[in-house]
Amino acid sequence: MWIKDSWDEAEGRSISIKVTDECARITSEFQEIVIYNTECFGRMMVIDGVIMLTEFDEFAYHEMITHVPLHVHPDPKNVLVIGGGDGGTVREVMKHSVENVILCEIDKEVIRLSKEFFPDIASGLDDPRVHIINENGASFIKNHKNTYDVIIVDSTDPFGPGEALFREEFYRDIHTALIADGIAVTQSESMFYHKETIERLFSFNRNIFPLVKYYYTLVPTYPSGIIGFSFCSKRYDPLENIRPCIPAGLNYYTGGIHRASFVLPGFMQKVIRG
């Protein structure tokens, strides 16, 4: 059986992956979650018809959404992860000397299924420094001002529960929730397929944060094979303030990749300049 990622089918493009069997299928309060075994990509999670992760390439996403901001902030102690119920981002955060991590994931079923079917990816969720809250991230952040050194928004695409995480109001709340030298990184789609979404994000983020940049990583099972991030900082520049100490055992992130990921093609430079 072949599974098609439905995100871009309306635009006449999709990715197909051959699956060997279905491990689990549930409809939670918020979305449909399906776990498959695949022929080439290991185990795979699909939410509302969209590929969220595969065991084959998840490290390229989780390492880059995490280690870029945590290697720029000089002393990240309090970290908030919004979304990311699979645990991959938390796993990478725990490789740093953090003191407190809040995982705010709206759907507890994503966490439950990840612990059952992706134990290596979800391995950091049981760390005593991690506190899990099942709440809407856009609502949760409104009640926490001047609290976090780093905020990482590991969201789904801008539909369903993830839609509110792409609005200007949410980014203003992120700014308020960060301490005076805080950094936020948010999942910000593919530069090839979602230019309008990225342009809209940068149109308001330039007015919210002193420093906003776009960077990207390569993930074969995501639309166009590329997914990007908004780097939103109150003080630190991601190219000038890099801490050299890199945790052992990483598969994608290096100091060179960190710098190179901010080098954008000409068309994308025009997009983020508006």
Tens digit of each residue's pLDDT (9 = 90 or more) over 146-188: 999 999 999 877 666 667 788 999 999 999 999 999 999 999 9
Same domain, 186 and 230: yes
What is the number of other CB atoms lying within 10 angstroms of the CB of residue 213?
A: 20
Residue 10's pLDDT band, with cuts at 50, 70 and 90, is low
Query: What element of type H or E holds 108?
Result: helix 108-117
What pTM does this model have? 0.96
Q: Do 19 and 68 share a domain, yes or no?
A: no
Same domain? 144 vs 157: yes
Find out whether 220 and 50 touch, Cβ atoms under 8 Å.
no
Rg, C-alpha atoms of the chain: 17
With tokens 């990715």, the residue in question is 15
**Three-state secondary-structure class, residue 197:** helix
Q: Is the pLDDT of residue 8 over 70?
A: no
Question: What range defines the domain where residue 93 resides?
Answer: 58-273
On whether both 46 and 97 belong to a single domain, the answer is no
Bridge partner residues of 167 (DSSP): none
pLDDT tens readout for residues 212-259: 999 999 999 998 999 999 999 999 999 999 988 899 999 999 999 999
CATH code assigned at 192: 3.40.50.150
My answer on whether 87 and 177 are in the same domain is yes
Q: Is residue 142 exposed (0-12), middle (13-18) or buried (19+ Cβ within 10 Å)?
A: middle
Q: What would the two tokens of residue 215 be?
A: 């960077």
The confidence score (pLDDT) of residue 11 equals 73
Same domain, 71 and 40: no
Which domain CATH number covers 17? 2.30.140.10
Q: Is residue 46 domain-shared with residue 76, that is, in the same domain?
A: no
Q: Are 53 and 88 in contact (CB under 8 A)?
A: yes
- Are 18 and 85 in the same domain? no
212, containing H or E segment: strand 211-218
- The catalytic residues are 154
| Range ranked top by mean pLDDT from 15-19, 61-65, 241-245 | 61-65
Count structural domains, the chain.
Answer: 2
**What tokens does 50 get?**
């969209």
Spatial CA neighbour of 217 closest among 173, 263, 274, 271:
263
Mean residue pLDDT across the chain:
94
Distances in whole angstroms, Cα of residue 252 to Cα of each of 51, 79, 119, 261: 20, 22, 20, 11
Cα-flanking dihedrals φ and ψ of residue 67, to 5°? -75, -25
